């Protein structure tokens, strides 16, 4: 609760401000992996020298998706702008001279919030909502900077959303295939010729499953998902037919067939022990795999793995 012009307001339900979808903290957003954090620890001082939004310490666990990087709860309790910390006021007619930011989940004065629009990351990941919403000036600049940076993995999506959305399920499969394919392409002497064929999507072969927010929006609203699926077909065909790539292929560890196996093929089973076989041979492999046996024994009788002193 805070007071503006002698009137009491709630920091989580600002007066005369749209309330639908408010409060980003109600979303449980996954934390970005340490390997991706280098893209997310941007110094906001370069955006606004008069803003306290950049005072948040840099951290490898910084979660830019939910907007917690910007939030100053102490400011809201005192009725102050979450950006410049000036007192929030109303005009002579009692109308607020401040606005609610859909990204930070906080109130900002009309100097720091000029009703600019941006796509909200946590809305996209949790609800597949790609509609731009009103954000403060500092958030707008920050989100624009992050929009094309690949720092989102498919695991950051709400798992229920992925299961219900065919495009995301196909995207998840395609990204996994590209991860396997990248190992072959990296050492292929014909790599440059292949990259000329696939054009701008060649970046996906080096990103290890990471996408930008812009990519996600393009998958959900346009045809990027289909283009990525087609990319998998082109690269997969190259690997299977290329003499250099075929030299790194595998043989079924069970039937010892002369057929070459690649991790990205749907007919290939990849065990956690590193061995590969046909899917039709996978049951026999599981019965012989020492690692699988140990895991099964531990799940049924964990005490057998502890030696008495």
pLDDT score for 44: 36
Mean pLDDT, each 10-residue run in order, the chain (309 residues) = 51 40 33 32 37 38 55 63 88 86 92 95 92 95 94 87 88 90 87 86 88 95 93 91 82 74 77 70 65 57 52
pLDDT score at 304: 52
Q: How far apart are CA 297 and CA 299, in angstroms?
A: 5
The sign of the dihedral angle between the CA atoms of 214, 119, 54, 58 is: negative
pLDDT value for 48: 44
Most distant CA pair in the chain, distance: 84
Q: 73: buried, middle or exposed (CB in 10 Å: 19+, 13-18, 0-12)? A: exposed
Going from N- to C-terminal start, the domains of the chain cover 2-147, 155-246, 249-303
* DSSP state string for 56-111: SPP-TT--TTTTTTT--HHHHHTTB-TTT-PBP-B-TTS-BSEEE-TTT-SEEETT
- Which among 263, 237, 238, 245 is positioned nearest to 186, based on CA atoms? 245
pLDDT at residue 100, as a whole number: 93
pLDDT of residue 248: 78
pLDDT for res 218: 95
Q: Tell me if 269 sits within 8 A of 276, measured CB to CB.
A: yes
Q: Is 148 exposed, middle or buried (0-12, 13-18, 19+ CB in 10 A)?
A: exposed
State residue 77's pLDDT score. Answer: 62
């Amino acid at each position: 609760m805070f007071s503006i012009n002698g009137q009491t307001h709630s920091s989580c339900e600002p007066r005369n401000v749209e309330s639908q979808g408010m409060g980003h903290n109600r979303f449980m957003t996954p934390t970005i992996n340490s390997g991706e954090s280098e893209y997310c620890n941007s110094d906001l001082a370069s955006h606004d020298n008069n803003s306290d939004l950049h005072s948040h310490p840099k951290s490898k666990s910084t979660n830019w998706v939910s907007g917690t990087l910007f939030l100053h709860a102490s400011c809201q309790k005192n009725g102050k702008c979450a950006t410049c910390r000036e007192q929030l006021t109303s005009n002579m007619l009692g109308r607020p001279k401040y606005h609610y930011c859909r990204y930070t989940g906080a109130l900002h004065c009309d100097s720091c919030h000029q009703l600019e629009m941006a796509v909200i990351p946590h809305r996209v990941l949790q609800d597949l909502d790609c509609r731009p919403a009103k954000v403060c000036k500092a958030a707008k600049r920050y989100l624009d900077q992050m929009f094309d940076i690949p720092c989102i993995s498919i695991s950051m999506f709400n798992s229920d959303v992925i299961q219900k959305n065919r495009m995301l399920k196909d995207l998840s499969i395609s990204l996994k295939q590209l991860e396997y394919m990248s190992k072959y392409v990296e050492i292929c002497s014909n790599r440059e010729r292949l990259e000329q064929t696939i054009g701008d999507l060649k970046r996906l072969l080096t990103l290890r499953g990471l996408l930008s927010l812009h990519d996600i929006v393009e998958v959900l609203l346009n045809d990027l998902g289909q283009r990525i699926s087609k990319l998998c077909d082109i690269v997969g065909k190259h690997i299977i037919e290329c003499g250099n790539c075929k030299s790194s292929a595998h043989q079924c560890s069970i039937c010892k067939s002369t057929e070459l196996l690649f991790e990205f093929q749907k007919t290939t089973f990849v065990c956690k022990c590193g061995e590969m076989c046909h899917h039709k041979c996978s049951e026999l492999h599981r019965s012989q795999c020492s690692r699988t046996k140990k895991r099964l024994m531990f799940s049924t009788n964990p005490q057998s793995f502890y030696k008495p002193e």
